[in-house]
Amino acid sequence: MAIEILMPALSPTMEEGTLAIWLVKEGDRVKSGQVMAEIETDKATMEFEAVDEGIIGRILVAAGTAGVKVNAPIAVLLAEGESASAVPAPVKAMQAAQAPVAPTAAPVAAVAAPRTGARVFASPLARRLAAEKGLDLGKVQGSGPHGRIVRADVDGAKPVAVVAATPPAPAKAAVPAGMSAETVMKMYADRSFTEVPLDGMRRTIAARLTEAKQTIPHFYLRRDIRLDALLTFREQLNKGLESRGVKLSVNDFIIKACALALQAVPDANAVWAGDRVLRLKPSDVSVAVAIEGGLFTPVLRDAETKTLSALSLEMKDLAARAKTRKLAPQEYQGGSFSISNLGMMGIDNFDAVINPPQGAILAVGAGVKKPVVMKDGSIGVATVMSVTLSVDHRVIDGALGAQLLKVLVELLENPIAMLA
């Protein structure tokens, strides 16, 4: 029986994507694990693997098609001996009211979902056979790529009572979009302009920043940090690391200091989860990376456990792959805290917008030589860096945010403590 191949969800928040390239054509035989297509999300291009074996009977969505909804049929897979002439074109799409169905193919970088209380990843054929046998797929262990349930898993499972479908999540409230395109274009009808359509990344950035500023009660804490001790210490370390090809940046020290500060003030290592706060144990620190047309925030996981040189090498790798849009979703989603450093671009200070659901973001300005009052009361010159901590007041209160920033300043002004 023909099987619908569905548009996969390449990340928990993906609703649609662009089918960039087909790597198979009608009539091709495919095997489990074979890459069939490349699919673009708002921020990444992912490979799409087959789970079931069969023959590509019909391609329903052409390469280059944008706005393909998750779980929409994109191709038809035939079993041995089946004819493509028997396949209607296009195959009837699933009704939106049905429970979400996992794709027949899986993204290379996807991680299998937990079995309890989470979405079940199974091929359409496995789902149909399970329904006929009265199987609860939530209790079947998948043996396919990334834990997908395939036909062999269903054939070997024993029938049990079918569990009622989980009711769909309530629809998200619409976010006000401001003036319509038509209204704005009328205002500038007598002016010369070029219309620039939004790509997926820019649409996502616009939606998330609008959500952040409208729903997150931001407040801001500011401190000046003297960098002279850090700059001297960095120079010494870089001389010792030169033979290993490692060169530490000031940003590497900032990442490490933020990770350690979150450990020292664990109540601030938290995210907002709708009706509760989640306090994380590891310090998963996101760092904003500017790319053409937008930005990524790759996450350095368990940053508190890593050396400065390890963080430096990992950050360089993530930034390089971010610029070519080769990051997997799990590499830029999550984290509890972000860093946005515009100091390298000459910006003295600024206020950053929190990246939901995270609880805070640190805006880092340039290190600038300024006159300062020294410890003995005399006037001297020091390299001073201005930072602003933007905090979600639902997650972190003012005193807690001030405590976090205090520890961060102490670490950066006494950087040798980061090695203790």
- Is 3-155 a CATH 2.40.50.100 domain? yes
Average pLDDT over residues 390-404: 97
- Is it the case that residue 170 has pLDDT exceeding 60? no
- Judge whether 146 counts as a catalytic residue: no
Average pLDDT over residues 299-320: 96
The DSSP output letter for 99 is P
| Cα torsion angle, 340, 343, 347, 351, sign | positive
pLDDT of residue 252: 97
- Closest by Cα among 196, 211, 176 to 13: 211
Q: Where are the domains of the chain?
A: 3-155, 217-419
- Is it the case that residue 104 has pLDDT exceeding 70? no
Task: Quote the tokens at residue 418.
Answer: 């980061």
pLDDT in tens, 220-268: 999 999 999 999 999 999 999 999 999 999 999 999 999 999 999 999 9
Categorize the per-residue pLDDT at 277 as very low, low, confident or very high, splitting at 50, 70 and 90.
very high
Lowest mean pLDDT among 37-41, 227-231, 295-299: 37-41
Question: CB within 8 A of 154, min separation 6: which ones?
Answer: 126, 129, 130, 133, 135, 140
Pick the catalytic residue from 31, 186, 393, 394. 393
Average pLDDT over residues 122-136: 69
Task: Quote the tokens at residue 318.
Answer: 């993530």
Q: In which residue are the tokens 């290592």 written?
A: 269
% of the chain residues with pLDDT over 90:
52
- Is 269 within 8 Å of 227 (Cβ atoms)? no
pLDDT in tens, 182-224: 888 889 999 998 988 887 788 888 888 888 999 999 999 999 9
pLDDT of residue 305: 96
The DSSP output letter for 122 is B
Q: Is 179 exposed, middle or buried (0-12, 13-18, 19+ CB in 10 A)?
A: exposed
Categorize the per-residue pLDDT at 313 as very low, low, confident or very high, splitting at 50, 70 and 90.
very high
pLDDT in tens, 351-379: 999 999 999 999 999 999 999 999 899 99
pLDDT in tens, 110-128: 433 333 444 566 665 677 6
Average pLDDT over residues 338-349: 95
Average pLDDT over residues 300-326: 95
Lowest mean pLDDT among 169-178, 268-277, 281-290, 306-315: 169-178
Average pLDDT over residues 69-98: 66
% of the chain residues with pLDDT over 70:
82
Q: 217-419 has which CATH code? A: 3.30.559.10
Q: Residue 50 and residue 155: Cα distance in Å, rounded?
A: 19
- Is 20 within 8 Å of 38 (Cβ atoms)? yes
Question: Average pLDDT over the chain, rounded to whole?
Answer: 84
Q: In which residue are the tokens 């789970």 written?
A: 51
- Amino acid found at 286: S
- Is it the case that residue 24 has pLDDT exceeding 60? yes
Lowest mean pLDDT among 124-128, 280-284, 287-291, 342-346: 124-128
pLDDT of residue 160: 47
- Amino acid found at 359: G
Q: In which residue are the tokens 């969505």 written?
A: 61
